[in-house]
Structure 1
């Protein structure tokens, strides 16, 4: 993890879906760099486990229950940060659900459920925290998109791919709307990373073949993605906005 920086000292970040997987790694990187971090998750127990590991005393890391489908939950989370630490500077919209299912077998209800978490959740986070950042004159929003939203997805469902493509577009919309207020909005679009969800999706007997089909010959390191979040969250990143940063081993080139 990065050493604490004078530029991150005292800054406050909230990470949705921070109770496990990539969100947990991002929360750890932010905390290691000197941020005060709210680990937000619909599974508050998982969020609390992560927050306690980061700071058992709860001075620099806390857990928050947050259902990203509910605007009121985002408003409550923001209020909690203001009450505890007096401000907020960074939002990482990471929470997502994945359901790998053939497109012709996806029910309308399942489609709506995935879109509600991945796309609606990102929209609400950008809206609630974006308004606060705008009024404060500074803020950083990092949205987690995906390679699936760029190439249509190969191992993920159409609803997941569509939601992640929508996040790329929302990132541009909010970046344009908030830019003059000192707020940047960027997205990161990872390909397959060395995370449990990837190992669960790809059978062990097919993993060598799976990696061989990636131009660089391997899956990605989620810690690098977390470091990219740190770069985009920094005060110095004010000239970077509306962009989608690809981390995919060469699977999608433009």
Structure 2
């Protein structure tokens, strides 16, 4: 996502200092946010920053770092969903016989504070090399029981069209003619059509967020506000299906 240069809210905010400068973080919270930034990535793109009013509004709670992120309870696990334990080769997580995750990268345009892969994702991208991707595609082709390939990461929709086409070809090489693809956890649903035209049948599970109006004496109930052209009835889990 290209960054602007004219003002803090016109470029992706990546440091606690930039969040303070943009008015999204109070100065007294700077030290705590800096401590969080040493462990977990921060990125708030311009379109999102423009909709955040305070760190404690519905959007701010999702994307503005908080000191509570540094608290680790005794029962918590560093790999809560066992990605590492169920990863036979880099980029592949094979939890169930009939489906596999493919994680070609671990970068996102925005970092959610609740992310269960927050220990892994970050601006360095975790991008698989060409050899690692080839090995991942070979693994998929050699396991005919796999009927669904779930493209995730990171945000898979920041992949280039060329990388998406390579993924499409890998799906089509699968021994199962009914193999389908899914995109999980993306924050760029507007790019779905542009990057998936060549794909086999696919489903998408992007995350969408609508800010709420504040509760005031004349308005006692928060009301969803359509964002990015979405209608109020657009669910937080949106399903699409397409064939090329």
Structures share a fold, TM > 0.5?
Answer: no
Larger gyration radius, structure 1 or structure 2: 2
- Bigger helix share: 1
Normalising by structure 1, what TM-score?
Answer: 0.30
TM-score between the two structures when normalised by the length of structure 2: 0.31
**Which of 1 and 2 has higher RCO (CA within 8 Å, sep 6+)?**
1
